Amino acid sequence: MTPALSVRDLTVRFPLAARRRAPRRVVHAATDVSFDLHAGRVLALVGESGCGKSVLASALLRLLPGNAVVTGSAVLAGSPPVDVLTADERVVGRQVRGRRLALVPQSAATSLTPVRTARSQLEEAVCELAPGTDPRARADELAERVGLAPRDLDLFPHELSGGMAQRVVVALALAGGPAVVLADEPTAGLDRPLANRTLQLLREVADAGCAVLLITHDLGGLLRAPEVADDLAVMYASRLMETGPAAAVLAAPAHDYTRDLLGALPAGGLVPIPGHPPELTDLPAGCAYHARRPDAGRCDGGALHTAALHTGGVRSARCRPLAVALC
């Protein structure tokens, strides 16, 4: 099956301003990141704060600051296929953003213009992204789809609760009927019931045919709601450490970092990971995680190993070949 979005070797660098008598430093925000998003499936991308997850979403939407250096490819399927990393800015602005590739932003309340009602903003997005439809009727339809009463749209952002604001931004993301939805920490700052409801909402979006990338640091939330994510990718210090079907990765992690992340959760015994993530300007050669935890296990320097699963699908992990039992 052709993936809705195929990302290959996506690398993002931010050169910092040169300082006198010091070598020019570069932030390694993302390095050789590859993954596929499929229609109807949710890929959860997890990792500690600052590992480069959100940069990926901004890079795919071409919303990075001007000093970012981006290489690799990210091809959106469809007619015609578009490489969103290299396409002309006008093509991205008029044909991709919101229409084929949408974002559910990190902070819902601040993502709404404070002096206008939710309805006004949603109707504006409908007019821009889906011309020819009745904006009011379409806004009401979107509100109902995300579980809001149409009258809730007449409120200003400061009158919306956190959960309602989150639903409004999901409705905004769906206004253009995108094939791919990127959700950047959509549960940050929400209490547990609201976070669960938001995750379920994204599951419904995927079930309706969208490909969803769910960026989160809340691995516990995914454990509590195993039905939300189909696939899982674990990121550390700008690289994907492990990918595969979510159930398989959570049940039997192949990489030491995934195992330690699960061990740091209450269900895993609350064992904190020793040390700190490295500065992205100063990454060690080889595997960054085993440089932090040399005692964690064997490491071949961070090489990527891939294996096909007998149940279908593919697993990959860095640092050592996947055990036969995991496949």
Partner 1 sequence: MGDRRLVVGVTVLAGLAAYAVLVPWVAGVDDRVTDFAAARQAPSWAHLFGTDSAGRDLFVRTAAGLRVSLLIAAVCAVLSTVIGALVGALSAVAGGWVDRLTMRVVDGVNAVPHLLLGIVLVALFRGSLVAIIASIALTHWTQVARIVRSEVLSLRDRPHVDAAVLGGATRWRVVHRHLLPAALPQALVAAVLLLPHAVWHESTLSFLGLGLPPHRASLGTLLEEARSSLLLGGWWTLVFPALGLVLATLAVAAVGSGLRDRVALPRRAEATL
Binding interface with partner 1 (CB under 8 A): 61, 63, 93-94, 97-99, 102-103, 105-107, 110-116, 121, 124-125, 128-129, 169, 172-173, 175-176
Q: How far is the CB of 98 from partner 1 (least distance, A)?
A: 5
Cα–Cα distance measured from residue 205 to residue 186, given in angstroms and rounded to the nearest whole number: 14
Pick 205 or 249: Cβ nearer partner 1? 205
Kindly state the smallest distance separating residue 23's Cβ from partner 1, in Å. Answer: 29
Nearest to partner 1 of 49, 110 (CB atom): 110
Strands 211-216 and 42-46: parallel
What is the separation of C-alpha 146 from the centre of its chain, rounded to a whole number of angstroms? 20
CB of 57 to partner 1, least distance (A): 11
* 157: amino acid identity, one letter: P
User: Judged by CB, which is closer to partner 1: 97, or 255?
Assistant: 97
**Shortest gap between Cβ of 142 and partner 1 (angstroms)?**
12
Query: Whose Cβ is closer to partner 1: residue 189's or residue 321's?
Result: 189
Whichever of 32 and 128 has its CB closer to partner 1, that residue is 128
| Closest to partner 1 by CB, 173 or 261 | 173
Report the nearest approach of partner 1 to the CB of residue 18 (Å): 21
> Hey, what amino acid is at 207?
D
> Distance (Å, rounded) from C-alpha 283 to C-alpha 279?
6
**Order of strands, edge to edge, in the sheet holding 69-76?**
26-37, 5-15, 69-76, 82-83
Nearest residue (CB) to partner 1, 121 versus 243: 121
CB of 213 to partner 1, least distance (A): 15
Distance CA 172, CA 314 (A): 33
What does the DSSP 8-state code read for residue 96? I
CB of 198 to partner 1, least distance (A): 17
Q: Cα–Cα distance between 296 and 315 in angstroms, integer?
A: 21
Alpha-carbon distance 3 to 81, whole Å?
Answer: 11
What is the DSSP pairing of strand 5-15 with strand 314-318?
Answer: unpaired
The SS3 of residue 305 is: strand
Please state, in angstroms and rounded to a whole number, the distance separating the CA atoms of residues 70 and 29: 10
What are 304's two structure tokens?
């990527």
